[in-house]
Amino acid sequence: MTSYRLAAGGAVNRGQLLNFTFDGRTFRGFEGDTLASALLANDQMLMARSFKYHRPRGVVTAGSAEPSALLTVGNGARREPNARATVVELYNGLVAASQNRWPSLKHDFGTINNLLSPFLGAGFYYKTFMWPAPFWERLYEPLIRRAAGLGKVAMQADPDRYEKSWAHCDLLVIGAGPAGLMAALAAGRAGARVILADEGFRLGGSLLGESASVGGMPAADFAGTVIEELAALPNVTLMPRTTVFGWYDDMVFGAVERVQKHVASPSPDLAVERLWRIVAKRAILASGAEERPLVFGGNDKPGVMTAAAARTYLNRYGVAVGSRVAVFTNGGSGYRTAADLVARGVDVTAIIDARPQSADPMPEGVRVVRNGSVVATKGRHRIDGLIAERSGFEEVIACDALAMSGGWSPVVHLMCQRGAKPVWSDEKQAFLAPDIGKAFLAAGSAAGFDRISDCLKDGANKASALLRDLGFAAYEADIPDVEGEYDPSFAPLWYVPGAKDKAFVDFQNDVHVGDLGLAQREGFRHIEHTKRYTTAGMATDQGKLGNVNAAGIVAGMRGVSPAEIGTTTFRPFYTPVSFGALAGTVRAEHAAPVRTSPLHNWARKNGAAFVESGLWYRSAWFSREGEKSWRESVDREVLNVRANVGLCDVSTLGKIEIFGRGAAELLDRVYSNSFLKLPVGKARYGLMLREDGIVFDDGTTSRLSENHYVMTTTTAYAAEVLAHLEFSAQTFWPELDVRFVSSTDQWAQMSLAGPKSRTVMSRIVQDDISDDAFPFLAAREVVLRGGLQARLFRISFSGELAYELAVPAGYGEAVADAIMEAGRDEGICAYGVEALNVLRLEKGHVTHSELEGRTTADDVGLGRMMAMQKPDFIGKRLSMRFGLTAADRLQLVGLKAVEADKEIKAGAHLLKDQAKPSLANDQGFVSSACFSPSLGHHIALAMLKSGRERFGERILVWDGLRGSEVMAEVCSPVFVDPDNLKLHL
């Protein structure tokens, strides 16, 4: 036995036994254990294989910076790879497995990489696997990926729920150690809204693992009393198991709460993880400090860990990490660990102190080797001894664990995520948090304070300062006394010379000192280049333990201060966050809001197939029995509209109510055509340009009364047009009295089109709608038979005699049903947007397929819509630019296939007859295409160079993407009823 559970002590609940398995073996732990502490308690020191060399690894830390003890937790669809054993909360039934090994953790074939390591230095694959080029993707990369790596992700769908939530507070305190607790207490007592978040499952931070006493009681008990008081305050929210991972604009913090990651079967009513966006007026970073590993030969052997980790396992979990523990230190932390171990009856074989002398109190009976160092560790799967060196003499010291301390690095990650770099302090020999203003302060050891008493004081002081800033009455916190503190100061030691084995800097990516040297020699000298070349700091731990050592070592190699080397860039996330948490509820049917028309039910009853159009679900076509393809349905619908009558849902078009005495003038300025004299009771087609003269949107606007208009927009640009109107009215012409509001959702709007539409509509509408009383482009409020108020417009997109009827949305389904009933004898059919598209193509009407952000009014044949006699309208000036009036611009034309059965596809390019298929010979492209059932062949609208001069020319329609070439004749874009006789029936 080496590592073992002590008979008593620790903050675990020894009355609550938990069973779990690791690589198939059953173990027991206690409630309050982490997976790592429970494995250590069972003497399972070997936990993992390293990423590249497959070296045996155990724990290095007792917290979230853990680089080595990465395990796969859970099974089936809940299998989660790369979980850090040091932060996985133990639960009954937990299943854990080691990863990156074959056939087993103890006998791993991949260790061959360790033997080959002289050839596998940093960047080896950039140099080695260069030839032949195609082998990289097909052979080399798959092989390297197999040999090196982490755990494997579960391929099944994630069965669990995730969600996101917002929180708001005056003060966010990140970290519930001594500084964080006092900060939260000061703010909580002052009445501020406080959120205290900590990544641990038990609040208290380092106090849970320290042997000092605070306020006359054990540090962990003190933490307990503070948390009890905080929990009772209604203005304080405690968030354990919550990692604040990012700091974003406007003091928004990202955090992830592990709601049910510590249970075997999560409740289906609860999220397993919850992503928080915390909006804080002020924040305190009390994330503590990380103990640095020492960089010496064989420093990665299972059993070698930081002194603070050994202390935490001892004091918090009641686990001795070895029965004969050696300590290698350059400061007080090593001595404190030795003292704590001795006090709990654990044998400490030696303290090897890198310094020539120190004032740290020596535990009684423990040998101290001053000015010493460790140059190698012994043992195969775990440490069983070390080689110490002093003044040129080597000595083997037997041990079954080695606690190392290389000094402390404040955890300043969050404060550096928005560009500010940490600042080197010669005094502290550490990178400290940068000054980033008065809203977000570091406190406690995150701010460079190293004693508990100073951290307690600093937390309270910083909170009080921030609260005064927010206008809260100053609150003087009573700072408890601390007894049994130690001096954690240290002398810098970046690299221990004389290593007889690899000295690792980045444990997770297997980067050792030799790799850093190679990077310098090969010119990758900037620390960011060194990082990318060696991959130091690029693993999932983002170099939490290794980066500062890497900077120090590179500084030593170059003979400069670490201040000159600096750090690499800090970015979210502080620790890995699952994709599930980032997605939240936004998956499957909740992926995006669904927008349904008031006629959705009517369409469904009539057999509609729906198509997503933005967020809208529009009825695409209406299948009838016996129809085998969508085309059959669409062809039938089109022919029926041309011959009889059809009903189409056009509710998704944008509708904007426009009020005010200045409305006519505003419309005249935002549309390119004239609107000033539109009479009451009339609709008019309008074209809007952008400032740059390009077409923006089109639609109809109707004047319902003197100062009340209703505008329709395309479905896609409904919101943009409203914003454009508001912007124009508010900024260009504030003197115009005009107001707007969207009424898109208020109205169910249906188009009734076809030669028999008047017959059918007159059975629904009470008013006289004869051609005399209600001519083309009439627009009025009408009353339906039965009394319902509605709006009727005589406008047509299909080219047929047509009406658009708008009724309050709640009545949409009933009115559509009534129209279908009223038109039964006329052979009415429902038709969808596919048929609508064919109808408008046959009629040569344009949509956003043609008005696609590059075309002018003239390009699409709407030059007559430019009322140049108007003093001004949006887009007028720039529409006269040379480039927009050039004769060889692409112009809208029609195309018909020369051979009737040949299909023209949208997106295909146009070439002169006999021209070589190449974009160099490009003459234009097909913007929309369809089969025209009215004509019996394929037709298309296309943009063709000087197209209007080329009617009758035969051109080649070349679809290079789908590999087809079709001959077509250029023609007028209006295929049906060019003289508009049908509109005026």
Partner 1 sequence: MSINLLQRHVLEDHISGFETDPNPNHLAVVRRPVIFSVLAHAGHEAAVAEALKAASDLAPRFCGPSEWLAVSQTVGAETIGGLLSNIPGASFADQSDGKVLMTISGPSVRKILAKCVAVDLHSDVFAEGDSANMLCCHVAANVARTGADTFEIIVPRSFAGSVFDELMEMGREHALTRGFSD
Of 205 and 598, which has the nearer Cβ to partner 1? 598
In whole angstroms, the minimum distance from the beta carbon of 787 to partner 1 comes to 8
Of 281 and 902, which has the nearer Cβ to partner 1? 281
In whole angstroms, the minimum distance from the beta carbon of 421 to partner 1 comes to 31
The residues near 851 (Cβ < 8 Å, ≥ 6 apart) are: 695, 696, 697, 698, 860
To the nearest 10 degrees (0 to 180), the angle between helices 546-558 and 527-534 is 120
In whole angstroms, the minimum distance from the beta carbon of 778 to partner 1 comes to 21
Of 164 and 669, which has the nearer Cβ to partner 1? 164
Residues 451 and 473: their CA atoms lie apart, in Å, by: 28
Instruction: Cite the beta strand spans of 391-466 per DSSP E.
Output: 393-398, 401-405, 408-410, 423-425, 430-432, 440-442
In whole angstroms, the minimum distance from the beta carbon of 811 to partner 1 comes to 5
Phi and psi at residue 404, in whole multiples of 5°?
Answer: -120, 150
Positions touching partner 1 (CB under 8 A) are: 163-168, 193, 269-271, 277, 279, 585, 589-590, 592-598, 601, 615-616, 657, 659-660, 708, 734, 737, 739-741, 743-747, 763-764, 784-786, 788, 808-811, 813-815, 818
In whole angstroms, the minimum distance from the beta carbon of 880 to partner 1 comes to 33
Of 103 and 593, which has the nearer Cβ to partner 1? 593
SS3 letters across 53-80: CCCEECCCCCCCCCCCCEEEECCHHHCE
What's the number of CA atoms in the CB half-sphere (13 Å) around residue 148?
Answer: 17
Helix (H, G, I), strand (E, B) or coil at 803: strand
Of 129 and 733, which has the nearer Cβ to partner 1? 733
Residue 292 DSSP label: P
Neighbours of 592 (CB within 10 A): 10
Phi and psi at residue 742, in whole multiples of 5°?
Answer: -75, 140
Of 356 and 787, which has the nearer Cβ to partner 1? 787
In whole angstroms, the minimum distance from the beta carbon of 587 to partner 1 comes to 11
In whole angstroms, the minimum distance from the beta carbon of 168 to partner 1 comes to 4
Of 708 and 945, which has the nearer Cβ to partner 1? 708
Neighbours of 968 (CB within 10 A): 27
- Tracing tokens 């050039």 back to the chain, one arrives at 886
Residues 30 and 5: their CA atoms lie apart, in Å, by: 10
Residues 439 and 392: their CA atoms lie apart, in Å, by: 53
Of 237 and 358, which has the nearer Cβ to partner 1? 237
In whole angstroms, the minimum distance from the beta carbon of 740 to partner 1 comes to 8
In whole angstroms, the minimum distance from the beta carbon of 788 to partner 1 comes to 6
Residues 589 and 587: their CA atoms lie apart, in Å, by: 6
CA-to-CA separations, 403 to 160, 272, 293, 294, 501, in angstroms, rounded: 40, 36, 9, 10, 18
Closest CA to 560 of 527, 608, 588, 533: 527
Closest CA to 700 of 719, 715, 687, 690: 687
CB 248 within 8 A of CB 276: no
Neighbours of 193 (CB within 10 A): 18
Helix (H, G, I), strand (E, B) or coil at 845: coil
CB 654 within 8 A of CB 742: yes
Of 124 and 659, which has the nearer Cβ to partner 1? 659
Residues 849 and 842: their CA atoms lie apart, in Å, by: 15
In whole angstroms, the minimum distance from the beta carbon of 763 to partner 1 comes to 6
In whole angstroms, the minimum distance from the beta carbon of 593 to partner 1 comes to 4
In whole angstroms, the minimum distance from the beta carbon of 644 to partner 1 comes to 20
- Tracing tokens 């404060």 back to the chain, one arrives at 415
Of 784 and 801, which has the nearer Cβ to partner 1? 784
Of 418 and 708, which has the nearer Cβ to partner 1? 708
Residues 20 and 349: their CA atoms lie apart, in Å, by: 33
Of 271 and 550, which has the nearer Cβ to partner 1? 271
For residue 156, what are its two tokens?
């099944």
